[in-house]
Amino acid sequence: MENYRYILPNLVTAGRLVLAGIFPFCDPKYWLTIILAAAFSDLIDGWLARRWQAVSWQGGLLDAVADKVFTFVILVLFVAAGKFAFWWLPLLLLREMVVGVTAAYLACNRFWTQFRTMAARPAGKAATAGQFVLAITVLVAPRFLLPILILTSLLSLLAAFDYWRLFQKELQRQHAGR
């Protein structure tokens, strides 16, 4: 029964994907509850994995995918609901785009194992936290939306640059090894 150490954190993470799937179909009065549940799941899944010494690259990948899917769903839905303008999306999702392009490049060039070594970064965690703060701000304090949009966009830019720099170092390391 030792497998619960690995299963439970991943189930918590998978729950965030379920929340992303139901979010567009829920009454907006439940949006805040769903966002808070997703934010809590993002905190607790990693904490459980570290506490139980059950950290794995698969769990980290699932966590990253769950974060990106949930974030994408809520931000697009907020734009569709008129909460903020469409042109903010590329700024808010810059990190996701850089990581996605990096993953696609590495997979297409059969360097997937290198992607596994690219751990979560503090800048990426800050960008995710900023996205959750933004989502909560949209719903509970829209008068503060512009500064939070700017801050979250800057965090996304910082994380995108950080991941891009890490990707460049990995490419240089690969080329030096050939």
DSSP characters for 90-118? HHHTHHHHHHHHHHHHHHHTT-HHHHHT-
- pLDDT reported for residue 114: 62
- pLDDT reported for residue 64: 86
> How many helices and strands in the chain, by DSSP H and E?
8, 0
**CA gap 75, 79 in Å, rounded:** 6
- pLDDT reported for residue 118: 63
What pTM does this model have? 0.88
Burial grade of 117 (CB within 10 A; 0-12, 13-18, 19 or more): exposed
Instruction: Tell me the average confidence (pLDDT) per consecutive run of 10 residues in the chain, 178 residues long.
Output: 75 95 96 97 89 82 90 96 94 87 78 64 92 97 96 94 85 74
Query: Distances from the Cα of 11 to the Cαs of 37, 79, 96, 106, in angstroms?
Result: 14, 29, 23, 27
For the chain, list the domains and their CATH numbers. 4-177 (1.20.120)
Look up residue 155 and give its amino acid: L
Look up residue 172 and give its amino acid: Q
- pLDDT reported for residue 33: 98
